[in-house]
Chain A
Amino acid sequence: MRNHLVGLIGEAARSQPDILFLTADLGFSVVEPLQESMGPRFINAGIAEANMITMAAALSFCGFQPYVYSITPFITARCYEQIRNDVCYHGAPVRLIGTAAGFSYGTLGPTHHALEDATIMATLPGMTVFSPATISELDRLFALSSGIEGAIYFRIARENGPNRQSPLFDLENPVVVWSRGKAINLVTSGSLAGEVFAAADALQAGGVDVRLISLPILAPFPAAALWNALAAAPTVVAFEGYEGNPLEAGVAKLLSEKASGYPARFLNAGRHFAQKVGGTDFQRAAFQLDAAAITAAARSLIDQRRENASAHLRVKATTPD
């Protein structure tokens, strides 16, 4: 997905001379075409993320449109106060690109995992968080980005995500409904899409009518659009981030405010650093975030609802009307 985004930036930079690209000395075998084509507008800021973010803010005050690139923890947690003060407080239209989301860099270790990034970015005033599940969502987000004032954080997975064409969405309605079933909602965003889509396929194959929904924009949280998209059914929310991530926080708040009456289950990475060496698939399985765990959670919710319904009927049967 990062190669695709870099390609989009390179293409846009051809016709938009105000676009700058800054990297903290990362992007081997990805950013070289930009270095070639953008000349002095390609800036290797060195392994100095704080200064890179701060300079990007000032460059935006000179009328430039800076894209700023590094490995996710280094461009979010490492330089968080620079993003908070220099970018967000000033409303600077800086575009932050973090690669790669969640457990994308599984074997590289917990320093390279990105599980709190969406949460800390989403809580910043004025920050828009993009979290594409597919290349088609990323294309649409990139096209829409010129209409967004202030900063954008691109939460990019290493994988390209499911090879599916998403229906068009816009900034007022940034919710993608991939299947319109009525038995259960599966709600996700970004990097975990492959697992969630696979779970949806498994459930469908088992006769469960799934409503599969992804949110390409996590902040500001599109609560109204999501409410319109949800089926009147139980909901499983799955996100490759720690407990309290913006997807589950947003859905929980929405269901609570609407008093939907339907149960929900939230799958996340808990509050633990990864304990054992392993790749992306291994970590997702260990944290109960793989397709099997998502499928099991959905089935359990459906079963629970049936049990509740039959218990309700038993109570009704013994209670005089």
Chain B
Amino acid sequence: MNSMIHAPAGAPSDALAATRSAYLAALRQRVIEVSYLAKSAHLGSSLSCIEILDCIIRASGLTPENMTAPHRPRLVMSKGHAAMAFYAALEAWGLIPKTHLDRYLQDGTALWGHVTRSSAVPAIDVSTGSLGHGLGLTAGYALGYRLRGWTARSFCVLSDGECDEGSTWEAILFAGHHRLSNMVAIVDYNKIQSIDRVSNVLELEPFADKWRSFDWTVREVDGHDPWAMDAVLGTPATDRPLVIIAHTVKGKGVPRVENTVASHYHPARESDRTGHANA
């Protein structure tokens, strides 16, 4: 079992870059370990958003001290099937106790196979797992915070596949129209949805143009470059909601499953536990 992973903080430097790279590799290994032990699917979906989740939590300012405050930053893990990555990232930031993930999917424990809120995990704001709900929840938070005069931002991690859902586009239209500049969506654009590639199922391209035409500010980044995402998340808000299209690789870090449809379904193998590559 891994020792406790702690997220390093601070501005980029060679030393910190090495530390952060090692930390993210450990986070990725934690997910592989959990998938192997729990025989959990959605390994590929989880491994593509390791850096995204770390950057979002870092940028949000959510801490164990403020995680139940009414005006806290809000994190909505809309791609709730990548629960292992979300739980591991929350764990690294001290937002859920390690004991929970050690017993992932065991009978009678706290963490479900899709992101689920319960009294045992107060850091989890909302339950997801059915796609197309998260962006509307985030828009609701953003609208509510604006009405309340609260300044924290609301963040949403979307999968590319759930951009098939009409309800996602309802939320995009609403947030753009109302200039909800206090919300950030980040799409884990790994190009593979459930049982096929995005380009074969429902092509999203020109993806950035679509968001832009709905009055969003759009940034495209390498979703495995944490410094690039930090930079985008750290830039001052515009008068529009921000979407970060993060280009990623499904199954990132496990060469055997990288960029495969099967990585959505098959759990990690024993050989993956030590054979992983660093991000």
List residues of chain A with CB under 8 Å of any chain B CB: 20, 40-41, 43, 45-46, 48, 50-51, 54-59, 61-64, 81-82, 85-86, 89-90
Contacts and interface: CB of A to CB of B under 8 A. Distances in A.
B145 interface: yes
B143 A43 contact: yes
A59 B143 contact: yes
A213 to B, nearest CB: 39
B174 A46 contact: yes
Given A61-B141, A89-B127, A45 B174 contact: yes
A58 B139 contact: yes
Contacts of A82: 133, 136, 167
B77 to A, nearest CB: 14
Contacts of A86: 126, 133, 136-137
Nearest to B126: A90
Contacts of B170: 46, 48, 50-51
Interface in B75-130: 117, 125-127, 129-130
Contact of B117 (A51, A81, A90): A90
**Chain B binding surface SS class:** helix
Contacts of A57: 126, 137, 140
A20 to B, nearest CB: 8
Given A55-B143, A82-B136, A86-B126, 13 more contacts: A46-B170, A50-B166, A51-B167, A54-B171, A55-B137, A58-B144, A61-B125, A62-B141, A62-B148, A63-B70, A64-B144, A82-B133, A86-B133
Contacts of A55: 136-137, 139-140, 143, 171, 174
A48 B135 CA distance: 13
15 contacts: A48-B173, A48-B174, A51-B167, A51-B170, A51-B171, A51-B174, A55-B136, A55-B139, A55-B143, A57-B126, A61-B126, A62-B70, A62-B141, A82-B133, A90-B117
Q: Which of B130, B140, B150, B167 has the largest number of chain A CB atoms within 10 A? A: B140
